[in-house]
Amino acid sequence: MKQKENIMKTRDYQETIIKAQSKFMTNNDLQRGQVYSPTGSGKNVCIDALVSEMTEGNSGKKICIVYPALAMDKQTRLKDKSNVEFTSFQDGVEELQHILDTTKMNHITTTTYQSFPLIANMKFDLIICYEAQNMVQRDCAEVLSLIKSKVLFYTATPITKIDGITSVVSMNNKKLFGEPICDIKPVELIDKGYIVPPSLVELKVATDEYGMAVSPYLTVAHAVADLKARLTKVNNKLLVSMTDTTYFDDFQDNISEMETYTGDIDLYTIAEGEQVKNGKKLKSQEHALKDIAENEKQCVIVYCDTLGEGIDVPGITATFLMLDYHVHMSKPQLVKTVERVARPSQEDMNENGEVIDMNNRVKPSCYVYILKNYEVNTICEAFIEGGYGDSVKVNVDFNTNESSYSSVQL
């Protein structure tokens, strides 16, 4: 079933964020602020509104937007603005400074967290940090004190604990990050159907000494078969999160065997610098994401890169955490990975972006597959701390029983 395109009106909680942004910009006593809003809530809509407010009827405004990956700047409507010019910055500080000093137009600089330290001390009218939890990492945190401009930090998952490895500062540090100017809780959006609640499904399969499924590709195949039984009105797209690319070739080499359980599928493996569909390389991640979005078949997308960092993957119906999140993920990272698939199906929404019928949705939950040896309580705690309340459901019984797993030698 083809996903229809919606042109949504601004929602009530987005209006709350937009008003908070405007108030922040007019308050000369505030230099830094934070905006908390769940993944899938449309933070881009709010950022677009802020940029429009700053640039319409004005000239010479200078804005810097920091992304985890430059591919994310293609998800906004900012480049449709005729009164704004753009520079994508990776290096060349002097060249960028010359552009900012000489241009008479409104100007937006887009960059990544990797390159941002080079220009953090430049003067902008506003710096927007998208997926701002990245700022707690050592390379970025060291430049926080150098920022002279007004700055807004947008995140769905604020990092408030310091572990000394992935985080060296806390977003509770008001001197570095400012106060939250708006805090939208996921449970508020779940109640109105703007995002769907997580539903955990445990898989009982044989695992090796490291806790990995003995046969990852067959385990995923059975998850797809189970998902087809749960969500029957959509062509499912399962997003599989892995630590590295170790098993990627196994997936690509065994599509036919997987299809004995799943039926016809398209299988993508996506890593930094390499995207493969059904054994054939695709030219870029942007091309792969576009292909996935337009694909009307069942899909499995196995990844281990920035798909978990704010990049929108349309039509995803479920995720499989095929990694030891105790080792590889903090609780906020775990929540963010799952929130990638918490967006409702567009088939459930009307042209204004409102749910047509809360009691009859083609995607009432975002299913989260985990291996049996993982701790369900830890995942539930992560979502409670992330503002989901008691909305997380746990499906302990997996449709395929233990004996049938042994029969296919998982």
- DSSP one-letter code for 349: B
CA 64 → CA 54, 176, 308, 347, 391, distances in Å? 13, 18, 22, 35, 37
**pLDDT mean over 290-317:** 80
Residue with tokens 């399962």, as numbered in its chain: 238
**Structural domains in the chain, sorted by start:** 12-184 (3.40.50.300), 188-407 (3.40.50.300)
Q: HEC profile for 320-332? A: EECCCHHHHCCHH
Please provide residue 68's backbone torsions phi and psi, each rounded to the nearest 5 degrees.
Answer: -65, -35
Cα–Cα distance measured from residue 378 to residue 394, given in angstroms and rounded to the nearest whole number: 12
Specify whether the CB–CB gap between 367 and 317 falls below 8 A: yes
**pLDDT mean over 66-79:** 72
CA 211 → CA 201, 206, 358, 371, 372, distances in Å? 17, 9, 38, 8, 10
**pLDDT mean over 215-220:** 93
Which tokens sit at 369? 């597959």
pLDDT digits (tens, 9 = 90+) for 229-252: 999 988 899 999 888 888 999 999
pLDDT digits (tens, 9 = 90+) for 249-265: 999 999 999 999 999 99
**Residue 401: pLDDT band by 50, 70, 90 thresholds?**
very low
Alpha helices in 103-150 (DSSP H): 138-141
DSSP helix/strand/coil, 266:
strand
Q: Quick check: 224 pLDDT over 70?
A: yes
Cα–Cα distance measured from residue 119 to residue 195, given in angstroms and rounded to the nearest whole number: 36
pTM here? 0.82
